[in-house]
Structure 1
């Protein structure tokens, strides 16, 4: 790309005006055509438009084409600055670029091509200044954020902080003319590899100073100053980006180390928890075995106590039964036990046929039962009368109710507390034998005295 870097005056001497009025490039027969990378082609117009403009003004060619390329390049430069948030970080420079672009468009509309071309070149340079200033602000913020993240990671990992590194964006700007600043930028080893395109634009603007008319020199000098400033700032931005890339690699390494340490800590904690759980399980098993032993001892003691209590109750009940039978001169009614408790049953012959009055023998037996129940603490007593299925159901129910009430009254008379005993007649509703036979009907004619088991 040797011909890209040569001074615009030398290139202008090889420009001629084609039949259509537009400049065409020519080269010597012994000069090879330089290859152009595809990635460089997208800003070819933006690069050559200001170069051609300056060169053609002094080349002696007959005329210049309208500055449409310069206007397009300036518009693109303004759009790039806007995309870089120059409205936020470099609003003054962006406003100046927009104003210059507006002047260029108005001048071209009036046919004042030279004025339009100059204003367009100024707009492009001002827009590039706005763009690099905005990029510098955003790059500085990203650089500070990366350094803060790395400092936090180092503190977390207890790694000594790295010695403070200089900020490439704060590298001092060389004092002097635009030419001296460009030479200093080329000679600075810290910035030499960066911003080649912007350096080329700066060299072109400086080279054009030797060819412009005296009246155009201030504008050309200002243009060169802008281009050098853009190159300086762009080089510092690229150097800062390189530092950000290095910091990002360091951050990735620190994150990997943090993950490794976190994994080791997690494994150690898991092992600690496993051992703790194992110890707790062993302790729980020991306590459970001990509790089982204590429970077995208590169960044995309780069982023995229950046996003793049961034996005492049995003895007390036997004595109370014997005493009741002696006092009443009769035996207690037959006894059976079921889920309801103790059930004493008076057979059907305890009453005269069709009547609710107890026979003398049955009355003595009920008296003995009342004395027995009154002598012992126990649960509620329920007297339930039953009949067979012979006769009218309503009459049977009434008869069963009367017989139950008679038995209840006899129990109360024998000493059983009135509020402890209740009576009910159920007729033939709950037979215990087949009503089809005399023997079955005899079993169904009965009065049950149910003593609930007291807990």
Structure 2
């Protein structure tokens, strides 16, 4: 609802409440009230109120049926009264459902944050205390609405529901006699719905805060894991150096006797092979964690990667550029930011960028386009922070196709830029 139309609608609702509860029969048929009740019941059903507020939803559905029956029988006052009750019960059911869902989501995320903080040895944040959950209080409508407005955590929450509740409470001043119990019940539903809706919004805000904290903790955990992997790789390199020195000592000692030298060489070769395998596995783990860190920091995926005799080969498809152009798309630029971070944290020894096209069109133009695209990728990597390592860029035109240029699918595969990363 737009704010500029809120007051007229609230004023009309207040007039309807007052007229209905006082028994005046000057209003038109309650078509709009019935439509509003139907919409409220539908919203409650969509909010899974059948799981969390089944009794209130059932009451709203029953009252809606009574309103429709009264309308068909020409009993407009009864139809209007039942429709208003149905709207109130449906809104109460929806608010209760949203509060229950928000509470469950916050509890789950709070537990996940606590577990991650404990694993990382981080003291929990001292977050502001949440307001107490709405209790089972009834009556005292004005005091309860004033309590909502006075609590700074709830003051700006559930404005619509609070306005509806205030209208229902204000209408009590003009209701007497046998209409009083129904008006009291309507006010109670509206005040209760306002309390639950405000509490649900506060829970959602705190869940959003916990989501932000959880994301930051995940990034910290990834960084720590990467640091631990690098430390392990350094330890294994030191062990390998020490074993190499010991190997030399043993070879010198075995020089006096050929058989002893051969036996020592055989034993040491096996140990060196095993150690090299461990070192390779540790380095691969370090690189895997570096790729994960790069994607987390850049909030983007790295280009697809394969390994061959050249090293790690990351491939940017032809759709990373506009057709016939050398300007990177926003998605490709984001992916290259992750690529630059990976090159930096993995301590790459060298990087080469190779551009390729399909065989369509002029060969000279294809060569120029492939060179421009390779240069654009190199420039993006340097700008994103990969300038600590030498990056060469070359264009190869339609050379070195990876698929048959006779089909559209094959040509699409051949239009590519390969980023070849050589690790230390």
TM-score normalised to structure 2 length:
0.55
C-alpha change, 1:198 and 1:72, in structure 2 (3 Å) is same
C-alpha change, 1:57 and 1:83, in structure 2 (3 Å) is closer
Given candidates 174, 179, 182, the residue that maps to 1:219 is 182
Give the CA deviation at 1:260: 2.4
Give the CA deviation at 1:261: 1.8
C-alpha change, 1:158 and 1:260, in structure 2 (3 Å) is same
Q: How do 1:240-259 and structure 2 match up within 5 A?
A: 240-259=203-222
d(CA) in 2 for partners of 1:59 and 1:162? 54
Q: How do 1:147-158 and structure 2 match up within 5 A?
A: 147-158=110-121
Give the CA deviation at 1:51: 3.1
d(CA) in 2 for partners of 1:55 and 1:171? 28
Give the CA deviation at 1:163: 5.5
d(CA) in 2 for partners of 1:258 and 1:293? 54
d(CA) in 2 for partners of 1:143 and 1:260? 26
Give the CA deviation at 1:44: 9.2
Q: Give the equivalent residue in structure 1 for 2:153.
A: 190
d(CA) in 1 for partners of 2:82 and 2:72? 13
1:171-217 alpha-carbon deviations (Å, 9 max, x no partner)? 66767521221222222223112111111001111111123353222
Q: Give the equivalent residue in structure 1 for 2:96.
A: 133
Q: Give the equivalent residue in structure 2 for 1:76.
A: 39
Aligned residues between the structures: 262
d(CA) in 2 for partners of 1:52 and 1:256? 55
Q: Give the equivalent residue in structure 1 for 2:191.
A: 228
Give the CA deviation at 1:291: 5.6
Q: Give the equivalent residue in structure 1 for 2:241.
A: 278
Structure with higher RCO (Cα < 8 A, 6+ apart): 2
1:87-125 alpha-carbon deviations (Å, 9 max, x no partner)? 111111111111011101111111111101110110111
Question: SS of the residue aligned with 2:174?
Answer: coil
Contact 2:22 2:175 in 1 (8 A): no
1:243-264 alpha-carbon deviations (Å, 9 max, x no partner)? 1122222222222322222222
Contact 1:168 1:237 in 2 (8 A): no
1:67-104 alpha-carbon deviations (Å, 9 max, x no partner)? 11111111111111111111111111111111011101
1:124-147 alpha-carbon deviations (Å, 9 max, x no partner)? 110111111111111111111111
Contact 1:49 1:73 in 2 (8 A): no
C-alpha change, 1:38 and 1:97, in structure 2 (3 Å) is same
Q: How do 1:368-447 and structure 2 match up within 5 A?
A: none
Question: SS of the residue aligned with 2:27?
Answer: coil
Give the CA deviation at 1:237: 1.1
C-alpha change, 1:89 and 1:251, in structure 2 (3 Å) is same
Give the CA deviation at 1:48: 6.5
Q: How do 1:169-188 and structure 2 match up within 5 A?
A: 170=133, 176-188=139-151
Contact 2:117 2:123 in 1 (8 A): yes
Q: Give the equivalent residue in structure 1 for 2:49.
A: 86
Contact 2:138 2:188 in 1 (8 A): no
C-alpha change, 1:59 and 1:135, in structure 2 (3 Å) is closer
Q: Give the equivalent residue in structure 1 for 2:14.
A: 51
The unaligned stretches of length 5 or more in structure 2 are: 263-424
Which moved further from structure 2: 202-211 or 269-278? Answer: 269-278
Question: SS of the residue aligned with 1:217?
Answer: helix
d(CA) in 2 for partners of 1:291 and 1:40? 96
Q: Give the equivalent residue in structure 2 for 1:14.
A: none
Question: SS of the residue aligned with 1:210?
Answer: helix
C-alpha change, 1:103 and 1:293, in structure 2 (3 Å) is farther
